[in-house]
Amino acid sequence: MRLPRSPAHVAILSSFFFPLLASANNLDCRHVRTEKVDWAFESLGGPKSVLHAVNNTASWVNTTYTIDLCAPLKRINDVPDDQKCPGGTRLCSIERVISKEDDESDVIANAFPIAGELQNHGGFPIDAKWYRLKTSELDTDAGKEGVRLEIKGGVKYVEKQKRKQKAFVEFICDPDLEGDENLWIPEDEYVGEEPEKGSPGEPSLQFVSYVTSGKDEDVLNLLWKTRHACEATKREEDEAKKNHWGFFTWFIIIAFLSTATYLIFGSWLNYNRYGARGWDLLPHGDTIRDVPYLLKDWMRRVLNTVSGPGTRGGYAAV
């Protein structure tokens, strides 16, 4: 039996093996590709937070979720370990209980990682996966444009029970939003955080749900409205970049070719018509030979002008 060796065959084979080879799916904000569509989210990098507040009778329970698509989260100040997420965390949850009776009391009840490279901190690898929404088979995704990110790796202890954590971040195309509008600025300070932007209004990054009813896994759902989720954005930006380069490159090439043609053709003319040799071959040979002297002269004039009339005397003869 002969094995077919068509390109299609190779493509099928590689698409079958690629997920195995790429089992260490790190979260890379710059290169996102599913089903031949490219996205880039580096402009949403840096710590970005969203608040979920629960209004109880005697207290508020405010949970801040902070995510960095491009790098592990890092706190500015020294913070006790039980009030922050471990190194390698990309999505951190910090819960505060704020008593309504006593305004000043603000207790951090729980801090735990939801996703990140946490295999060295009692957790798991992040195992990032991206799903294109346009071709999603879920009914709830019908009509959506964007991409869904699945990340995991975090662990939360609930009454000594270890519960795995996971998050879905749905990036939804909104051509009018950058994605960093009206974000929640938490008390927990992170390196690289930007100051508040825009007027108070609907934040681009939103909390959807935190589902704890699973058997041994909790799932956080976030929604991120941004133009970077639109399928055309990355392509258009790449094309703009290419055109820009294209123009520049062509300009240089044409300038170079014109000069070369002029010199070669001119030399040929001079050779044939006047039997010129050496420097005399070049068109405007005299001028070219004089360039260093002309430059020197020009520099001298510039220096004269700059240094002003006071020290002019020495060069008066020029």
Ligand X SMILES: *[C@@H]1O[C@H](CO)[C@@H](O)[C@H](O)[C@H]1NC(C)=O
**Shortest distance (Å) from residue 54 CB to ligand X:** 9
Q: Which is nearer to ligand X, 96 or 144 (by Cβ)?
A: 96
**Shortest distance (Å) from residue 196 CB to ligand X:** 14
Binding region for ligand X (CB under 6 A) out of 50-58, 115-123, 211-219, 267-275: 50-58
**Shortest distance (Å) from residue 58 CB to ligand X:** 9
Q: Which is nearer to ligand X, 41 or 184 (by Cβ)?
A: 184
Residue ranges with strand state E in 100-160: 106-116, 129-132, 146-158
**Shortest distance (Å) from residue 14 CB to ligand X:** 49
CB atoms within 10 A of CB 262: 13
Binding region for ligand X (CB under 6 A) out of 51-59, 114-122, 282-290, 303-311: 51-59
272 binds ligand X (CB under 6 A): no
**Shortest distance (Å) from residue 184 CB to ligand X:** 9
280 vs 288, 292, 293, 305, CA distance in Å?
A: 10, 17, 18, 35
**Shortest distance (Å) from residue 104 CB to ligand X:** 10
In whole angstroms, give the CA distance from residue 264 to residue 91. 64
**Which residues partner with 111 through β-bridges?**
94
CB atoms within 10 A of CB 316: 7
The C-alpha angle 252, 256, 262, rounded to 5 degrees, equals 145
**Single-letter code of the amino acid located at 35:** E
57 binds ligand X (CB under 6 A): yes
185 binds ligand X (CB under 6 A): no
62 binds ligand X (CB under 6 A): yes
Give CA torsion, residues 19, 67, 47, 74, to 10 deg.
-80
60 binds ligand X (CB under 6 A): yes
63 binds ligand X (CB under 6 A): no
**Contact map string, positions 77 to 116, toward ligand X, x by CB under 6 A:** -------------------x-x-------x----------
In whole angstroms, give the CA distance from residue 171 to residue 120. 29
Give the pair of three-digit tokens for residue 232.
């055309």
53 binds ligand X (CB under 6 A): yes
**Shortest distance (Å) from residue 202 CB to ligand X:** 14
Token pair 């996102």 is found at 32
In the chain, where does DSSP find H-type helix? 7-21, 233-274, 285-307
In whole angstroms, give the CA distance from residue 238 to residue 224. 23
Q: Which is nearer to ligand X, 62 or 89 (by Cβ)?
A: 62
- Contact positions vs ligand X (CB under 6 A): 53, 55, 57, 60, 62, 96, 98, 106
